[in-house]
Structure 1
């Protein structure tokens, strides 16, 4: 065997290879792993040109995979938007809007957030009036914590074509003044598309956002991610970044077929064109996105049982399918068509009824097209019914657990008020899904419903069902806590498989890319709650350092 370019030795290497779970050393040549094992064996590959890295007892493991993150949204929030945090008050948010209006020329859209459902009583019957009082010259568009609802001033409504007599929009909600029936400034799901389109980013801003996202993700130890909702602008941005060397991560993007945030269906032939046009070395595009329902705070998540009557919901008129964004027969046809064209589909599904309909659609595709390597995903999988737990394994479907709501957080009280404590205690049934044989992947959904993309707090919470934030004590469904051994594949090898890269990354094995991180902590002997504080000292992608801590 030829000599290695580089060798790491003298530490503990967690490989995520069941046949060889722990090693002492590894060799890398040309960005790929060429040997993993005992130090004495790997060191036989040392030659005159080999660089030797002494680990001094440090811990090495595969790079992490983030399977659901809106990277450009999140980076643009960091760089350009108003962001007051998930715990901010309404006054904090309005003060930030006022300050941005003072700073910005009226030609620039004032965009940001988040606002939360608990603020709704303070916002009054006509929330647009609060924003109009700040400025009638600036276009103001504020998103909620889930990014599924917008709060607009009158100018934003006008520019979005939502006038006083605007008709309802299928699949969306236009909240109205109870006295006049005019839009009051709150939009949900498909009704947000025109207002969202007012927030334009320049190519330079998007390029800067990619660089910021890569810096941010690699600082946590991610070496791969999936963009869960991509239109042509996002695809072009990622391809450009890859071609100029700014995308030092593996990634895949789910091309939108249906989205409440983007207007009309994207035709199948157009999706094929986008896939052909924008795929590049590190950008994989054999993936598609559908939205089946919305989110609980907007009463748009589709549940078999009604929301609580005391939350203001008319339980007597409950129809589980009324909040589905795609009728079941149409959804089945979409899955059949996308599966046949070779797209792995990620379906946004929060409520148990939406999850069931997503699984039904996968079953329809299997029946129509026969066995397939496409492992379609139910994104979020927040509330899986008892009946549907075992169907993931039977259909070779993937349960994505996202966002990080398997421990108490700012949204827990809102969910309990809408759904009741018993139902919320069945939120993110990770242990039950694993016991039923489902393959599970991790996604933060950052920046939607997640203040950050930190996987280590997510990993700690997965093992404890507790938050590291003392402001949110207690546990959420503690019976769903899982062990580190069961959690780690969710963040590594399972994520790699969801990218279609199980033979290239996700574990430290000969022949795979040298995608790994170095920790000073021995992860295998770290207390679960202490895992939340872990940060990599270095992140390697294809054998080169893409992040190095200053500590």
Structure 2
């Protein structure tokens, strides 16, 4: 009989296994769960070398699965100017000027996390506002969702954007009535000319474009990039996360992670996609197929293709079926139109790869669902588990299609306007009251049988799953006649554990606490079932175990 290396006892074990949903103790050996049950049942696996951990009546769960994350940019971004908690012109000016003073030689000053309403009732952000704060050095501040940025005049001139520029479908350098750029830059193609002004760093968005580094990184850069990834994984482990689904990447990122894996320093499991942009030919999917073939371990794998079909509601780059409520005559412009995306979906699916698509507006969601349906008709139905990321607005006709097509709704509880510290505007006005009932429609989709998982989209919002669980439990409708879209605690925990594992084809190896499953666990500092929702974020975690290895402990 095998002997336990670790025995966790005196815990409130929530196994996420319908056949045996609760237990008191868990034994671990050789990276897997050896036994689950009462202390008496599990104790017989203990030996003199067994490490015993007292759960102190805390909830013991399968390790959290972070199903939508930007690992490198999240970790690196913690070093940049942080604006998420800044409110008002004076506070913004002080933060920027202090950062500028501390970084006198930087060619471009970058801030991130900026709320859309950072100026309150003082009007929208423009280059003139930023000029009043910092007129003589290039400056860009990124919105918290990274889909909008604002640059000052110095940055726009240096990037040759002051007169505007065609930056491709779904992207925009916003122009004012005077024909000059207002400073607002919508989506990646509009921001990149400014971001290229950096004279140091420049690696904070590594992998976001899906392109390989233009020039081979130096040994020093490679070593620094590895440290950023290790720092990011350790930060994930501290939040109880044992697996992440990265939403950007390239082969270089996979190679860095493989080096970390070979050194035995992976603090969590990582899955990295191939990023198909509108500029890439479908023949580039050969790289996606090769990435899958080369990286397929339990700790590091590829095999998914990430696509953006639209942007975000706040800046008007999300694609809607009907006009924006606050912008008559505008529905948004898709990055991939319906025909182009359908052709891509058919080819990706033909290769046996999984697809995950950023689609926020109901028009974008329909484009994606139509593409997935076309792939099924062309290639035959299979267990593809294609995903739609965000699904922030959905048309009633498309609700049942998730279950019919087996499409996973990958959603983020901390994202709805008004939740936690997010502003209501401009989100709810862009959506419009007529669409509110089916905005962030978690309850509606789950009741319709849609497969689903939850995540943060870090660094867009805080990564902590406990904050996401609180958000899923505490969201309030925007109006009395708007349905309550909250899920139960059990449904929410499923979304952060086995349903996340299912979304990555890992549900038979992790996501539940059962004998033979990989030992991915998180111990909380209290009983989550008896804790008021607003106190859930304070529960820890106090212990994280990935593959039988302790990756975080307090």
TM-score using structure 1 length: 0.88
Distance 2:530 2:124 in 1: 54
Distance 1:493 1:72 in 2: 24
Match of 1:222 among 221, 230, 241: 241
Kept after mapping to 2: 8 A contact 1:86/1:145: no
What's the counterpart of residue 439 of structure 1? 451
| Matched ranges for 1:114-513 at <5 A | 114-118=113-117, 127-132=126-131, 138-162=137-161, 164=163, 166-167=165-166, 169-179=168-178, 181-189=179-187, 190-198=189-197, 200-201=202-203, 202-258=221-277, 267-276=284-293, 282-308=299-325, 311=326, 313=327, 315=328, 317-318=329-330, 320=331, 322-402=332-412, 404-406=414-416, 408=419, 409-448=421-460, 450=461, 452-466=462-476, 479-513=484-518
Residue 378 of structure 1 deviates from its aligned partner by: 0.6
Kept after mapping to 2: 8 A contact 1:125/1:184: no
What's the counterpart of residue 514 of structure 1? 519
Residue 288 of structure 1 deviates from its aligned partner by: 1.1
1:4-33 deviation digits (Å, cap 9, x = unpaired)? 223223332111111111122222111111
Residue 138 of structure 1 deviates from its aligned partner by: 3.7
Return closer, same or farther for 1:272/1:113 CA change in 2, 3 Å cut-off: same
Higher helix share: 1
Residue 436 of structure 1 deviates from its aligned partner by: 0.4
Counterpart of 1:323 in 2: which secondary structure?
coil
Q: Which runs of 5+ in 1 are unaligned?
A: 468-472
Distance 1:3 1:124 in 2: 66
Counterpart of 2:117 in 1: which secondary structure?
helix
Distance 2:481 2:98 in 1: 38
Distance 1:245 1:96 in 2: 40
Distance 2:308 2:142 in 1: 18
Return closer, same or farther for 1:275/1:191 CA change in 2, 3 Å cut-off: farther
Kept after mapping to 2: 8 A contact 1:86/1:410: no
Answer with 478-487 or 379-388: which moved more: 478-487
Distance 2:360 2:237 in 1: 29
1:460-506 deviation digits (Å, cap 9, x = unpaired)? 22123259xxxxx9999562122112221101000011122112211
Residue 330 of structure 1 deviates from its aligned partner by: 0.7
What's the counterpart of residue 543 of structure 1? 548
Return closer, same or farther for 1:52/1:86 CA change in 2, 3 Å cut-off: closer
Counterpart of 2:112 in 1: which secondary structure?
strand
TM-score using structure 2 length: 0.87
* 1:15 is aligned to 2:34: no
Counterpart of 2:346 in 1: which secondary structure?
helix
Answer with 63-72 or 168-177: which moved more: 168-177
Residue 125 of structure 1 deviates from its aligned partner by: 9.3
Answer with 18-27 or 166-175: which moved more: 166-175
Counterpart of 2:414 in 1: which secondary structure?
coil
Distance 1:87 1:137 in 2: 22
Distance 1:101 1:543 in 2: 45
Q: Which runs of 5+ in 2 are unaligned?
A: 204-220
Counterpart of 1:229 in 2: which secondary structure?
coil
Answer with 322-331 or 189-198: which moved more: 189-198
| Matched ranges for 1:26-45 at <5 A | 26-45=26-45
Residue 58 of structure 1 deviates from its aligned partner by: 3.4
Kept after mapping to 2: 8 A contact 1:227/1:253: yes
Kept after mapping to 2: 8 A contact 1:251/1:499: no
Return closer, same or farther for 1:391/1:295 CA change in 2, 3 Å cut-off: same
| Matched ranges for 1:24-103 at <5 A | 24-79=24-79, 81-103=80-102
Distance 2:121 2:103 in 1: 26
Counterpart of 1:207 in 2: which secondary structure?
helix
